[in-house]
Chains A and B, each alone.
Chain A
């Protein structure tokens, strides 16, 4: 995957004078000849528009399907008619400026947003063809099929071993041999085994930040999930630790289906197979990563990925 040159963000005309929008594009449909501000302004005004989906997405087996998905925090709508698929065995990156709803969308997959009282959702979402938001869905069962890694490493205040086998413990697994086997294989997959094999009983909180995050990844894959959600997994880590996590994501390709939120364009371009660009709660453009970064259909996407906006 090609590394894009780092460019300092330069505000485009739209960002400079947000209160003075230029003429909206006719019909609100994306047009390549429109000025950069056009589509974003239209989105800001709430005009309907069509997500630009690349042809490269067709023909992939979907593990997560999102259909016309809406989400409200109280009266504020945070996601608008998002429709996309996460191809099985591939890495899908969600990019976009802060507050665009990428983390919200990610947390909808394992229904973490249920923990917030004011959240309402509309539309449909499916995991391996099974509805996520049907009334009869057992949320706990659903979450056991999904692994999740958070922005800040959040190992539990217990030993390294207990951290890794936590998903199995809460599932009622008591067989010490099974637990040990899974702990070892999982820690090996997460590239942490060699570093911690002699101190599995030590507190997980004594590990370094990067090790803690890899421990959290090990925990997330311990129960063999169908999909792995990574919510900016490297934003609290130094470049070396970040590099190790990215290596892991590469190794996981094919084995796990990964949905990753990232603020780092280079990271998205390096690790992902597909990229979705979101803006203000809408999915703007979705396609194979190489196309999104090199031949985006929309000028707005290009401005964002090259760092001219956002």
Chain B
């Protein structure tokens, strides 16, 4: 074979080309607007602005309302034309159209003038909502006062706002400070001094008393309950009146006798504290002249609203926030704190995350790494995606039927037989709530994880296999670490979804008031069967179930604010974790 010849003979003849027809540009002028794409910029920017406006509007509403709740306003005393006097705090001002019966109720000499004023403003009048409190005396918490009804208005210097344990707020002026029923001071300034002096120790004694009632009594009760359960177990195992039963019964009787002694001791202590606290009282006089003596231990806080400077107001504001964050609720949740709800929300969300992430990641791993692609896998994937669209209340119903009644009921029959018919696990509880929400957020985790796994370049898997790694070694050492940021994103989304969900919780364990936390100092420290309080449910409860809805309304916003803050905090924590993971792949260009 001759190479030279091959080269010369193989040279091809130049191919004949038919010239390609070129399109003639129409229009001829400068590039038109649509082609430049300018309108699309405006359109897309408009969409973004719309979204931002909605989000910012919501946040602005929640923030302004939520932060204003605890700010102490001044107290106003109004004298109406009908001669009645009212003392209270202005909570709202609005324009309205008064009905003729309101005008007719005015004294005759005022009527013409008021009608003239109304006519000038086109029939509109201004009214204020006064929070007047003193519910046990007036049967009202709030009072609407129209401006034309007011004959005289002043801000009494010594007016007190009293926040107390029961009956809502009290508005009045201090008349005397009493110790053992005797007046020891009548000067307002001296009363305030004495109040400040005695209130601290009295409240300390009150807390001590509550501790005795809750913990010490609770401990004795728990011991008694335990002994009775043991007896019941023996009865179930050996029958009543058997030798074992008699032995156990004797033990229980012994414990009962001991407990009686304990109870008597605790009662005695409580009585001592109670007697000491009962000595102190402060007598207040309301705007309409009624007097009322309040025991010092009933009073949570006194705000001499009209004497407070800015610093004093800030002090009250912060003290109210502190109470809100760390105390238990009182007054049907419309006063006091929401600590149990914060705790319940956080614990439930973390428990849910702990349950959903491993299950979701394993499921996604099987779907993406092991399952042979085919119609079954596609069907499963579609089903999972559709699961995300199921209304959350449906999950609640499922959780109640399956987890609480079926699983919980079975656990009760197997392990807590002695306690039946009162359920242990067979009713709503934080574990079932977490499991229900885990089911609800499972699609989020699976979809996010699958996407993260799919985004791991196949070249990495091949590289690992080529090194002689098995499938599982490849997944554990290469695929999972690489997909971890994406999996964390799924976790964050699931947490955000789960922390804000309320509807299913109503069925599976969230309650209006749960004094016992799911984690506490009593053995075995973790109580997954206990029902719990949840901020989302708390918002619903305040907004729709509260008797004193006017007082509860600002609390709705404050609680919402807190819920948002907690979700943001949980997300930030997760994002920090993700950022750390991302740091490990810095410089990746593959």
Contact = CB atoms under 8 A, between A and B. Distances in A.
Interface of A: 10-13, 16, 32, 36, 110, 112, 115, 117, 140-141, 143-144, 146-148, 150, 152-158, 166-167, 169-171, 203, 205-206, 216, 219-220, 223, 229, 295-297, 299, 302-303, 306, 308
B466 A170 contact: no
A16 to B, nearest CB: 7
Contact of B463 (A140, A144, A154, A203): A154
B588 A157 contact: yes
Contacts of B473: 170
B459 A150 contact: yes
Nearest to B466: A148
B584 A157 contact: yes
The 8 A-B residue pairs with the shortest CB-CB distance in the complex, in nearest-first order: A144-B468, A206-B587, A148-B466, A154-B459, A143-B468, A205-B588, A154-B463, A167-B467
Interface in B1-41: 1, 3, 6-7, 10-12, 15
Contacts of A167: 467-468
A141 B459 CA distance: 20
Contacts of B584: 157, 203
A150 B586 contact: no
Given A144-B468, A148-B466, A203 B10 contact: no
B465 A112 contact: yes
Nearest to B474: A170
28 contacts: A11-B12, A112-B462, A112-B465, A112-B466, A140-B469, A143-B465, A148-B463, A152-B459, A152-B590, A154-B457, A154-B460, A154-B463, A155-B463, A156-B477, A157-B482, A157-B588, A166-B467, A166-B469, A170-B477, A171-B468, A203-B586, A203-B587, A206-B586, A216-B463, A295-B1, A299-B6, A302-B3, A303-B10
Contacts of B372: 117
Contacts of B589: 205
Contacts of A11: 12
A233 to B, nearest CB: 13
Interface string B412-424: 0000000000000
Contacts of A296: 1
Contacts of B167: none
A216 B459 CA distance: 12
A112 B467 CA distance: 11
Contacts of B12: 10-13, 16
A205 B590 contact: yes
Given A117-B372, A171-B468, A150 B6 contact: no
B168 interface: no
A155 B590 CA distance: 9
B585 interface: yes
A130 to B, nearest CB: 16
A154 B590 contact: yes
Contact of A219 (B459, B467, B587): B467
B481 interface: yes
Interface of B: 1, 3, 6-7, 10-12, 15, 372, 457, 459-460, 462-470, 473, 477-478, 481-482, 584-590
Contacts, number: 107
B10 to A, nearest CB: 6
A5 to B, nearest CB: 11
B463 A223 contact: no
A290 B478 CA distance: 42
Given A10-B12, A154-B463, A205 B468 contact: no
Given A10-B11, A154-B463, A170 B468 contact: yes
Contacts of B462: 112, 115, 150, 154
A153 B470 CA distance: 21
B466 A156 contact: no
Nearest to A153: B590
B503 to A, nearest CB: 41
B6 A166 contact: no
Contacts of A295: 1
A147 B463 CA distance: 10
Contacts of A36: 10
B346 to A, nearest CB: 33
Given A117-B372, A158-B481, A205-B587, A140 B468 contact: yes
Contacts of B469: 140, 166, 170
A154 to B, nearest CB: 4
Nearest to B484: A157
A109 to B, nearest CB: 11
A301 to B, nearest CB: 10
B468 A223 contact: yes
A115 B370 CA distance: 11
B212 to A, nearest CB: 59
B468 A156 contact: no
B502 to A, nearest CB: 40
Contact of B585 (A115, A141, A144, A203): A203
B181 to A, nearest CB: 79
Nearest to B589: A205
Nearest to A147: B466
A156 B585 contact: no
A138 B585 CA distance: 33
A141 B468 CA distance: 7
B585 A205 contact: yes
A267 B465 CA distance: 27
A147 B468 CA distance: 9
Given A158-B481, A170-B477, A223-B468, A16 B15 contact: yes
A175 B12 CA distance: 65
Contacts of A220: 466-467
Contacts of A299: 1, 6
Contacts of B15: 16
B175 to A, nearest CB: 76
Given A203-B586, A205-B589, A157 B481 contact: yes
B16 to A, nearest CB: 11
B463 A150 contact: yes
A150 B462 CA distance: 9
Contacts of A13: 12
Contacts of A141: 468
Contacts of A223: 467-468
Nearest to A17: B15
Contacts of A143: 465-468
